[in-house]
Chain A
Amino acid sequence: MSERHEAQTDEPPARGGNRALVGKLLLMAGGMFAFGFALVPLYDVFCEVTGFGGRTNTEAAVVIERPDESRTITVEFVATLGGFAPWDFQPAVTTMEVHPGRLYQTHYVARNRTSGQLTGHAVPSVAPGSAARHFQKTECFCFTPQAFLPDEERDMPVVFIIDPNLPRHVDRVTLSYTFFAGQTVAGLTDKNQTEKASR
């Protein structure tokens, strides 16, 4: 095949040309494979900037109180268990009326239902997404893993503030926590830990 092509003087030499082009195309395929993984940090940045997916801070925020008494926002508290986590987990109050720019405190109650030691981890989320950036927590049990003794029940505090820049049309914000057993609940690991804990 290459001989045939070398016979034609007006054609580029097929072999070298092929190799260079194949190289470029393989590089493109490899680049796109890497791009698939690069989407992971890009997605994180995107979520943090836009509040997309209800992403909210998981490290203590530093805030200044500037109360805006003219607005009242209803904050709803939701608790969910992740996977097969053996806990009792609920908010102490389900709604609060708050003014933007003022710090408020509430707490969630969790109980380890097993007779073993357990470590839990709460993942927060705020709805609607457009409020997520304006909902800041200065103190939260979701910042660190929570260790529980057998049958221990504990109040876990949250201190939060809603930024006065919250979009005007938002009058209701939901703070939701999903409580996972173990620091990561990766399918099999979770089940093993749960089994060990319940033994």
Chain B
Amino acid sequence: MSTTATHAPAHDDHHNAPTGIVRWLTTTNHKDIGTMYLLFALLMFFVGGAMALIIRLELFQPGLQYVQPEFFNQMTTMHALIMIFGAVMPAFVGLANWMIPLQIGAPDMALPRMNNFSFWILPFAFTLLLSTLFMPGGAPASGWTLYPPLVQQTGDALPFVILAIHLMGISSIMGAINVVVTIMNMRAPGMTLLKMPLFTWTWLITAYLLIAVMPVLAGAVTMLLTDQFFGTTFFHAAGGGDPVMYQHIFWFFGHPEVYIMILPAFGIISEIIPTFARKPLFGYDAMVYATASIAFLSFIVWAHHMFTVGMPLAGQLFFMFATMLIAVPTGVKVFNWTATMWRGAMSFETPMLFAIAFLFLFTIGGFSGLMLSIVPADYQYHDSYFVVAHFHYVLVPGAVFAIMAGVYYWLPKWTGHMYDETLGKIHFWLSVIGVNVTFFPQHFLGLAGMPRRIPDYATQFANFNMMSSIGAFIFGLSQLMFVYIIFKAIRGGAKATAEVWDSPKGLEWTVPSPAPHHTFDEAPQVK
């Protein structure tokens, strides 16, 4: 690790810097911390992925073959918590650490020590979370939403899970504060807000979302903790509480959270498509305003996750229409990406392939989301595999493909070497085929009535489940290629130029590849 190529000896003025593990423990350099975040996210992607494969293995055939139902439920819960808080969010924070200072011409993040701290909380948080697998009663098995009263049947693990969530929340909030302060205070002269690259813009908005909703989650899980151990009755009907209130508080956090996982993806795609279409982004201002509108709307749609718990007609109508309204700014974005490609001189390197797949498949996920927003239809779809198919379409070929696109796009800048284009393309095609074979049949399963979070099912669902499991193993195993390609590029390969691609826009392409340990010691002038 300590010999990663991100460390360019020629430019290193890190005098008397510690080496080995101490360097990584004490580093305050945004590039080091970004690398650590990304590697951590990659590790968690495989941990969470292994759990997904256990789920798909059990669902390969009807009947119980490999695991017990309790363990199966622990797998669905842990898979979600790890993928959301351990893989997708840290990967975006890693990209933010690496790229935001480079994109705005800043020498580092504004609060480097806090940056180090917010990363190093994560290994502890996830050690705690994963340790619950070995506790009496096992890991939490209530689903990642941790609804009471079910979650209160968790064994010894409950306080550990809650503490782990608190740690993740603290880490995210500190990371978000760092991003906001960096963007607000450290832009190069001339870099006005509406000249910022879109990845930086979407992250600024995401950071505000994080600061606004992570504390609400912290409050909700604290209430669970005091209900369990200190005799409060926030969610106990016996003491005047209401378990449905938990769902409202949780989804007040939960809905902005899903945009936290997709807005930075929008930013990455908005960087990649113009580069490979060789045209400036169509409708830059509209993109910024659309992102801000989506962020605002995310706060007033939460109850569409809980139509079936019962609410007044007026409430159902409000949340239905507010949810549908989100399709408007999202449609603006999809239109603008498409218009950017229109008559462009397109080439199809791996980042662009992932970006185009994102565009198609995220849109499918968006459409199934619209179907779910229709209240009377939602009564049928709720808690079925249709929901599973929907959110995996927005999260896997959505958020995860965008992260992979971003990694391929910026990897030559980080390592100084081009990745292996042939392997990259094979990785792309295996991934895109695997994802669709996995998740597309789940739409049909859900519409036919298969509920989510069950280890066994009626035999009528057998064929589509078998298909889905085969796809999951194709997708899961092909990610080993991703790791191989990354480490191959770290160790060597064709030298990357400073620009890497064909005249890309942005300050990050003005520094050499690999990006030296310290960049923009003197702020660049932005016209």
Contact = CB atoms under 8 A, between A and B. Distances in A.
B-side interface mostly = helix
A186 B233 contact: yes
Contacts of B108: 1
B181 A21 contact: yes
Given A43-B242, A47-B242, A184-B238, A130 B521 contact: no
Interface string B194-229: 000000000000000001111111111001000111
Q: For this complex, into which size category does the number of interface residues on chain B fall?
A: 35 or more
Contacts, number: 128
Contact of A36 (B107, B232, B249, B312): B249
Nearest to B314: A50
B249 A39 contact: yes
B227 A18 contact: no
A36 B239 contact: no
Interface in B95-135: 107-108, 110-112
A29 to B, nearest CB: 5
A5 B521 CA distance: 10
B2 to A, nearest CB: 24
Interface stretch (B59-67, B183-191, B274-282, B488-496): B183-191
**Most interface-central of B108, B211, B521 (chain A CB within 10 A):** B211
A82 interface: yes
A11 interface: yes
B110 A36 contact: no
Nearest to B148: A187
A50 B311 CA distance: 10
A92 interface: no
B20 interface: no
Interface in A40-87: 40, 43, 47, 50, 52-53, 58, 82-83
Interface in A11-52: 11-12, 14, 17-18, 21-22, 25-26, 28-37, 39-40, 43, 47, 50, 52
A189 to B, nearest CB: 6
A156 interface: no
A30 B169 CA distance: 12
Contacts of A197: none
A99 interface: no
Interface residues of A, number: 48
A25 B181 contact: yes
Nearest to A10: B189
Contacts of B177: 22, 25-26, 29
B328 interface: no
A186 B523 contact: no
B399 interface: no
A137 interface: no
A28 B229 CA distance: 29
B119 to A, nearest CB: 18
Interface string A117-136: 00001010000011000000
Given A21-B185, A50-B312, A39 B245 contact: yes
Contacts of A35: 215-216, 219
A12 B521 contact: no
B396 interface: no
A101 to B, nearest CB: 24
B248 A32 contact: no
| Interface residues of chain A: helix, strand, loop or mixed (majority) | helix
Nearest to B178: A22
Given A32-B212, A121-B238, A17 B233 contact: no
Nearest to B244: A53
B1 interface: no
Given A82-B238, A123-B238, A18 B181 contact: yes
A137 B166 CA distance: 43
A8 B189 contact: yes
B238 A40 contact: no
A37 B220 CA distance: 8
A75 B228 CA distance: 36
A107 to B, nearest CB: 21
Nearest to A5: B186
13 contacts: A10-B189, A14-B110, A29-B173, A32-B215, A33-B215, A184-B238, A185-B239, A186-B233, A186-B236, A187-B227, A187-B228, A188-B228, A189-B231
The 10 closest A-B CB pairs, nearest first, are A36-B219, A33-B215, A185-B238, A180-B238, A32-B215, A184-B239, A36-B216, A25-B177, A43-B245, A17-B185
Interface of A: 1, 4-5, 8, 10-12, 14, 17-18, 21-22, 25-26, 28-37, 39-40, 43, 47, 50, 52-53, 58, 82-83, 121, 123, 129-130, 178, 180, 182-189
Interface of B: 107-108, 110-112, 152, 173, 176-177, 180-181, 184-186, 189, 211-220, 223, 227-229, 231-234, 236-240, 242, 244-245, 248-249, 252, 310-312, 315, 521-523
Given A36-B218, A50-B312, 14 more contacts: A25-B211, A28-B211, A35-B219, A43-B248, A52-B315, A53-B242, A82-B238, A83-B238, A123-B237, A129-B310, A178-B237, A184-B238, A185-B236, A186-B233
